[in-house]
A and B are shown apart, each in its own frame.
Chain A
Amino acid sequence: MSADQEQRTIRCLVAKVGLDGHDRGAHVISRAFRDAGFEVIYSGLHRAPEEIVQATVQEDVDVLGISILSGAHDTLVPEIIDGLEEYDAFEDTLILVGGIIPDDDEAELKELGVSEVFGPGASMEQMVEYVRENVPEKE
C-alpha cells in the first residue's frame, strides 16, 4: 500500500481534570470512540488543566472531551480554554464536556466555547455522531 494515501483519522483526547475519581464514563467513552474508528488518547485521572492543554496542543487532537463530575467545571474549563488560546489551539479543537452540569452552567460553558455538553442519558451513538458531524476541518 502506498504511503501517500491520505489517512485522515479523528483524534480525541478524553480528559479527566481535577480531584474527581469517577472514570467509568471516561473509560466507556474511550472505548466507544475507539470502536468508532477514532484514535483516543486517555489522559488518566486527576490531571491539572495545564496538562490537558499540553496534551491537546502536542497531540493535535480534533476533539477534546472533558469529563467532570466534581462540580468544578466553572473553574477548570475556563482554565483549559485560556491555555488552549495561549497556544493557538482553541480555534480548531472541538471541545465537549461530559458530566453533571446544571443548565445555567451549561449555557455559560457554551458561551466560553464549549461546543456541546453531554449529561446523564446521552447515548454513545449520539456522541459519536456529534463528533463525526462537527469535527473541525483542519487546514
Chain B
Amino acid sequence: MSDLIDELLAGKHRALARVITKIEDRRSGHRDLVSQLHQHTGNADVIGVTGSPGSGKSTLVDKMAATYRDRGLTVGVIAIDPSSPFTGGAVLGDRIRMGSNIGDMDVFFRSMSARGSLGGLSTATTDAVKALDAFGKDKIIIETVGAGQNEIDIVKTADTVMVLVPPGSGDDVQMLKAGILEIGDIFVVNKADLDGANRTVQELREMLDYSDGAILQSSGHHGAGSMEGTDGLQIEAESEGWDPEIIETIAQRGEGVDEVLDTLDSHATYLDDSGERERQARTRYAEEIRTLVREDVNDLMAEELDHRGGMDAYLDDVVTRETDPYTVADELVGPLADCVRDRRKE
C-alpha cells in the first residue's frame, strides 16, 4: 500500500494517477493513502476556476498552465464535468482544450466526473488536490462549471477563487442571483473582444462596489475597457481586506493571461501577509473533519439499521402511525449516544 505513496512521492506519474483513481472510486484503503499524504501537503497554491458553460474556462486553464510552465513551475489540473444522473456515464471533454501542453508530463491533467447523485465529490476533489500537492505540483487548478451549490462547495476548497464571466451574460439581477460575487477573489471577463465586454466589466465593478458596502464611486480611474492598465494591482491597498479584481482576457489568443497569473500571485501574497491563508486552512480542515465524522457516523448507523432488519421494518410502523420518524431516530442513535457519554465519564 505505502509502496504506491513512495512511488508518488518519488515523482512517478503512474502512481499519482492510480492514487487519484483510488480516491475517486472510494476504493478500500484510500483513506490510509490520503492520511499518509497529508504530512507532505501544504506547498501548492490551489486555484479554483468556475464560470458558466462556454465561458472559456478550459481554454484559459490551458493557457495558464502553459504560462506557469514558461515560468518554470509545475502544474496540476483537476477538471470536473457533470455526469448523467441516469446512467452515471459522462463524456469528459475539457482535455480537448489542453492543446498548449502537448506531451508535457509536468502538467498533470485529470478529468473527474460528478459521479451521479452520490455525494462526496468535494471530498474526492480535496483528496485529489492533496495527492497533487504531495506529488510536488507548484500550482493546482480546479476547474468546474459554476452551476450550483455543489460546484461552489468545490471551488471553496481552493485558496483563490476565480470566476469567469462571459460578456453579455445578463443584467445585474442575474449576477446577484448566481451568488457568485461572494465567492470570487478574481473575476475574469473572458472573450473580451466580444461586444458587451466593457459593459460586463462595468456591471461587475458596480456590483462588487455595492457588495463592499461602499457608496458607488464614479468609476473614473479604473474605468471599463482599460485593457492595458495595471490598475488592477493597486486597488487593494485601500482597505485591509482583499478587493476582488476584474481582469479582461482573450484566452484563445493568450491575451491577459500574464495579468491573471500576476494577480493570482498577489492574492497569494495577500493570503500570506494577512494571515488569511492560515485562517482559510483552519476553516477548511474543520469542515473536512466535520464531513468525515458525519459520513462515518452515517455509515455506522446504516450498519446498525441493517442489523435491526433494515429501514422497511420501521417504515411500516411509521406509515401505520404506530411510531414516528423522531422516535425511530432516537431509538437508533440513543444507544450510540449512551455509549459515547459513558465512555466520557470514565
* CB of B92 to closest CB in A, whole Å: 5
B25 within 8 A of A: yes
Within 8 Å by CB of B87, from A36, A43, A87, lies A36
**Within A54-96, which residues are at the interface with B (CB < 8 Å)?**
54-55, 57-60, 87-89
Q: Which of B26, B89, B102, B123 contacts A33 (CB 8 A)?
A: B89
Over the window 91-113 of chain B, the binary record of Cβ atoms lying under 8 Å from chain A Cβ atoms (1 yes, 0 no) is: 11101100000111100111101
CA distance A8 to B91 in the complex (A): 16
Number of residues in B with C-beta < 8 Å to the partner? 47
Taking CB as reference atom, which chain A residue is nearest B104?
A54
Q: Name A6-23 residues within 8 Å CB distance of B.
A: 6-9, 11
Chain B 110-159 residues near chain A, CB threshold 8 A: 110-111, 113, 115, 117-120, 123-124
Q: Which of B14-22, B190-198, B204-212, B319-327 contacts A (4 or more CB under 8 A)?
A: B14-22
Q: Within 8 Å of chain A (Cβ to Cβ): is B67?
A: no
Tell me how far the C-beta of A134 lies from the nearest C-beta in chain B, rounded to whole angstroms: 18
B13's closest neighbor in chain A, by CB?
A: A57
Q: Determine whether the beta carbon of B26 is less than 8 Å from that of A41.
A: no
Name the contact of A58 in the complex, choosing from B108, B115, B302 (C-beta under 8 A): B108
Residues of A within 8 A of B102 (CB): 48, 50-51, 54
Give the complex CA separation of A93 and B90 in angstroms. 19
Q: Using CB atoms, name the residue of chain B closest to A6.
A: B26
A37-B88 contact in complex given A7-B26, A87-B14, A88-B14, C-beta closer than 8 Å = yes
Rounded to whole angstroms, the CA-CA distance of A38 and B89 in the bound complex is: 5
Instruction: Tell me whether A39 and B89 are in contact (CB under 8 A).
Output: yes
B39 interface residue, CB < 8 Å from A?
A: no
**Nearest-neighbor residue (CB-CB) of B105 within chain A:** A54
Q: How distant is the Cα of A58 from the Cα of B109 in the complex, in angstroms?
A: 6
Is B92 within 8 A of A40, CB to CB? Answer: yes
Residues of B within 8 A of A89 (CB): 14
Nearest-CB distance from A31 to chain B (Å)? Answer: 7
Contacts of B84 in A (CB 8 A): 34-35
Chain A interfacial positions (CB closer than 8 Å to B): 1-9, 11, 30-31, 33-44, 48, 50-51, 53-55, 57-60, 87-89, 138
Ranked 3 nearest A-B pairs via Cβ: A3-B120, A44-B96, A34-B89
Binding site for A on B (CB under 8 A): 12-14, 17-18, 20-21, 24-28, 31, 83-84, 87-93, 95-96, 102-105, 108-111, 113, 115, 117-120, 123-124, 291-292, 295-296, 298-299, 302
